[in-house]
Amino acid sequence: MSVYQSPFERLRRTFDEEDLECRHCGYRNTDGDWRVTTSGSRVRYQLVCPACDAVETRELRLGS
């Protein structure tokens, strides 16, 4: 039996697996976890670097 995952959850998992290097200091956060928030028309993914506290943000806008 497969577990249903929304497209947003699948995208977060992709970020968790591939996009964990801080663009500011180069630290590779292998334990990283993107936080997901939504405001209705936008979905925001954020990752905080534990080495320098920089925040990496990816945002999707929903709509037609």
pTM recorded for the entire structure: 0.68
State what percent of residues in the chain have pLDDT above 70.
91
pLDDT band at 1 (very low <50, low <70, confident <90, very high): very low
User: Which residues in 1-64 belong to E strands, given as ranges?
Assistant: 35-38, 42-48, 55-61
Residue type, 54: A
Q: Token digits for 36?
A: 């997901």
Mind listing the pLDDT tens digit for each residue in 29-59?
A: 888 788 888 888 888 889 899 999 999 898 8
State the average pLDDT over residues 7-36. 81
Q: Per CATH, the architecture of 7-61 is what? A: Single Sheet (2.20)
